Structures are given as structure tokens and as C-alpha cells.
């Protein structure tokens, strides 16, 4: 029984009105309730974190348990600037253009709160990572979702038309939940439109090291884009430390100066011991990143083949660790997900949670888990097939 409200009026602000809780995290709780194998929320297994990065965090608890300055540990900001210069050829001043946030989601929300005025149009591609929808609402922005479900391509005409009426474009690349990697020519088109319409681009590049195609470039490598872009990224997926909550916002000084105002007064600083460990993480050799992508590519192939073998219809991703999967029959996606948990013991996320409105005819599997766990989930699907 919910506790009766002592108030005679609704207490939620307009800013949160109608907002639903995260379906991704709800599916994780549902998985726990039914003892299902969790292939819903993108969580890696514990032993995936490089041991020397974990050790650095343990050591740092003894020496560094107080606040860092609000923009982040200087040594970490310097290391971030060095690595991003190597990786993407873009230089960011660690003093004024690199901000360490409490996870990448905070980077996105702080950026939108700082740069989006009420009523400003914010473009994002749908299906979309679910947290952009509330982030736009927090900022009072006007959502402009552009559907890429069929073909996973940016439609030039729709983007041009939408951009004329927008001030911000959110670009998640590689893309969650589809695993899509936009082609360099699509990104060039985005850059042209952004320049023509004077858009600020907010990229979420949390899967930047989990790509399986040579065709991948970071948006900031495209001529002219870095100057109008806030890159939101972080440690969670690259070093398998999703619970540490260390994100990075990289942006030219005029954009960084604004987002830092929100960051300063909301999170003060990201957890200090984990920032220290971040210096260690960002110092890992280059083959760490090659091995990481190769390891997820193997898991992608196992899941893809296995899902096809049990009569499902997955789309093979070029990046990130999610797989959009269609299923036979005409039950809606939420019903199918719930039945998968209860009858097959495997948790996924219903596709509809990645749209501003409406239902979907697919579910999202993650292959962030280790190979034995993915194999065990496939066995359960095979043995408990109801579709």
C-alpha cells in the first residue's frame, strides 16, 4: 500500500511530470526477482575490470578520500587531454576544457541544463538511449526525435528540416540500443547541418572503444565539429567500472564554462579514489583497447548466432554491446520481455523504452556479460522457447 500523501496538491514539479522510472533498471530488478540471467542492463561481470585499475582505487582510499577540485583531479584531466589528443587528434586544455563528472549521464544532464533554454529544440535519433528523454525534459527542451529504426540511417531531409527548428543535437555514437555506428559521410552531413543551423552538438561516446568496424570515426574527428561539440564519455564501459561513476565532458572553453556551472553545484566532484584510479586506467597500453573490442566481438558473434538458432531475429551491431532483436508473433515488446524473464529466465529490455512515445516490435539483449553467462542464457532460451 502506498503511503497516503499529506499534501492536498500534487507535489512533483512540471520538470518531472509524467516521467517514468528507467525501464532498463526496472528490468534488472525484475531479473533479480525471478532469478533470471540478466541480459538487460549493460553491466559487465566483476572480473572484467583490469586488476591494476582496481588496485589503484583500493590504494587511493587510504590517501585520497576527500573532495578534488570541482573540475576534477588535475592529474586525471591532464591524462584525459593527452589521451584524447592521441586518440582523436583534438586538443583540449585540461584547465578549462576538461571536466570530470559523476558519470556520463551527469555530463549529459549538466550540459543540457547549462546550454538548453526552455522551448529549445533538441534533436536525437530514435530508438534512443532512454536517459536523454528525461534529460531534455529536465532542461525544459522541446524533444525532436528522428526515427532511424528502419535501416539505422540518418535521413538527410528529416535532419535538415528538424535542424532548422533546433538548437542542440544529441549524438550517441556508437549508438545504444542499436549498436549502430554512423558512417563518416553521415557524420560529415551532421557537421554541415550543425554549422548551417548553428547547432550545439552533444555526443555521448561512452562506447568509443567498443567498435567492430574499420569505418568508425569519432564525430570530433570530422572537420569543424569539435568546435561546437560537448563530448560526454567516461570510464564505465571502457574499464568495466559502471558503478564508479566517473564521466568526462570535453568541450571548447565557452561550452565548458557553462556546463561547469551546473556540475559545480550539483555533484561537487566525482568520487576521488576512482578519479585517482582513472589515471591508472587511462595509462593502460594500446593493446588493452584492441583486446577489449576483440573480446566483445566474440561475445557479439556468440549471441548473434545463438539468437538466430533459437528462432529470433537479431541485428548484428558494429559497436557497443547491445543487440536489437525482433521476435515472431504479435505480442507487444513489454509482454514479450516479461514472458522471457518469467518463462525462459532471461532478462532483456523492451524496445519501447527507447522511444519518446509508442511501442516497438523488438527487445534489446546485452552481451556485456561473460561468455559462459551468454551461453547459459542461450541454453535457457533454447529449452524454454515459447515463441
* Chain residues that interact with ligand GLN, rule: CB under 6 A: 22, 24-25, 41-42, 176
Residue nearest to ligand GLN (CB): 42
Distance between CA 67 and CA 270 in Å, rounded? 8
The secondary structure of 46-58 as a DSSP string is GGGS-HHHHHHHH
CB of 258 to ligand GLN, least distance (A): 25
Closer Cβ to ligand GLN, 77 or 245, answer by number: 245
CB of 184 to ligand GLN, least distance (A): 25
Closer Cβ to ligand GLN, 99 or 366, answer by number: 366
Closer Cβ to ligand GLN, 232 or 279, answer by number: 232
Closer Cβ to ligand GLN, 42 or 345, answer by number: 42
Nearest to 366 by CA among 208, 151, 129, 203: 129
The secondary structure of 196-240 as a DSSP string is HHT-EEEEE-TTTT-B--TT---GGGSTTTGGGEEEEEESTTTTT
Contacts of 286 (CB under 8 A, 6+ apart): none
Burial status of residue 371 (CB atoms within 10 A of its CB: 0-12, 13-18, 19 or more): middle
Closer Cβ to ligand GLN, 94 or 127, answer by number: 127
CB of 129 to ligand GLN, least distance (A): 6
CB of 266 to ligand GLN, least distance (A): 19
Q: Are 147 and 126 in contact (CB under 8 A)?
A: yes
Closer Cβ to ligand GLN, 24 or 323, answer by number: 24
Strand partners, 172: 204
CB of 110 to ligand GLN, least distance (A): 17
Q: Give φ, ψ of 151 to 5 degrees.
A: 90, -20
Nearest to 109 by CA among 140, 84, 80: 140
In the structure grid, which three cell numbers stand for residue 182, read together? 554512423
CB of 366 to ligand GLN, least distance (A): 6
Enter the DSSP assignment of 4: P
Closer Cβ to ligand GLN, 31 or 225, answer by number: 31
Question: Dihedral through CA 265, CA 267, CA 272, CA 275, nearest 10?
Answer: -110
Distance between CA 21 and CA 353 in Å, rounded? 10
Distance between CA 342 and CA 325 in Å, rounded? 18
Closer Cβ to ligand GLN, 22 or 183, answer by number: 22
In the structure grid, which three cell numbers stand for residue 219, read together? 564525430
CB of 382 to ligand GLN, least distance (A): 24
CB of 354 to ligand GLN, least distance (A): 9
Amino acid at each position: 500500500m502506498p503511503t497516503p500523501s499529506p499534501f492536498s496538491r500534487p507535489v512533483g514539479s512540471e520538470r518531472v511530470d509524467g516521467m517514468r522510472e528507467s525501464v532498463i533498471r526496472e528490468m534488472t530488478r525484475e531479473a533479480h526477482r525471478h532469478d533470471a540471467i540478466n541480459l538487460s542492463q549493460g553491466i559487465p561481470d566483476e572480473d572484467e575490470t583490469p586488476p591494476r585499475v582496481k588496485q589503484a582505487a583500493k590504494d587511493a582510499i587510504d590517501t585520497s578520500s576527500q573532495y578534488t577540485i570541482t573540475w576534477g583531479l588535475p592529474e586525471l584531466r591532464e591524462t584525459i587531454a593527452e589521451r584524447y589528443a592521441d586518440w582523436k587528434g583534438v586538443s583540449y586544455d585540461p584547465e578549462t576544457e576538461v571536466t570530470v563528472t559523476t558519470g556520463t549521464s551527469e555530463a549529459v544532464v549538466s550540459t543540457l541544463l547549462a546550454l538548453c533554454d526552455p522551448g529549445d529544440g533538441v534533436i536525437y535519433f530514435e530508438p534512443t538511449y532512454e536517459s536523454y528523454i528525461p534529460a531534455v525534459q529536465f532542461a525544459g527542451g522541446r524533444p525532436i526525435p528522428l526515427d532511424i529504426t528502419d535501416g539505422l540511417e540518418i535521413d538527410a531531409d528529416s535532419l535538415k528540416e528538424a535542424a532548422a527548428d533546433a538548437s542542440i543535437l544529441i549524438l550517441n555514437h556508437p549508438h545504444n540500443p542499436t549498436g549502430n555506428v554512423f558512417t563518416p559521410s553521415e557524420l560529415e552531413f551532421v557537421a554541415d547541418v550543425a554549422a548551417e543551423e548553428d547547432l550545439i552538438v552533444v555526443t555521448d561516446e561512452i562506447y568509443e572503444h567498443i567498435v567492430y568496424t574499420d569505418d568508425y570515426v569519432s564525430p570530433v574527428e570530422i572537420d569543424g565539429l569539435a568546435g561546437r561539440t560537448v563530448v560526454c564519455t567516461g570510464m564505465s564501459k571502457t574499464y568495466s567500472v559502471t558503478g564508479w561513476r566517473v564521466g568526462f565532458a570535453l568541450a571548447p572553453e565557452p561550452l565548458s564554462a557553462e556546463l561547469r556551472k551546473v556540475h559545480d553545484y550539483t555533484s561537487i566532484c566525482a568520487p576521488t579514489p576512482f578519479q585517482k584510479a582513472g589515471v591508472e586506467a587511462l595509462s593502460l597500453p594500446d593493446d588493452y583497447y584492441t583486446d577489449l573490442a576483440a573480446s566483445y566481438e566474440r561475445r557479439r558473434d556468440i549471441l548473434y548466432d545463438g539468437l538466430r538458432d533459437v528462432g529470433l531475429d537479431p541485428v548484428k551491431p558494429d559497436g557497443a554491446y547491445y543487440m536489437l532483436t525482433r521476435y515472431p508473433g504479435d505480442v507487444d515488446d513489454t509482454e514479450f520481455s516479461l514472458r522471457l524473464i518469467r518463462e525462459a529466465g532471461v532478462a532483456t529490455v523492451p524496445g519501447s523504452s527507447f522511444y519518446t512515445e509508442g511501442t516497438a516490435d523488438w527487445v534489446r539483449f546485452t552481451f556485456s556479460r561473460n561468455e559462459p553467462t551468454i551461453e547459459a542464457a542461450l541454453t535457457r532460451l533454447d529449452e524454454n522457447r515459447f515463441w
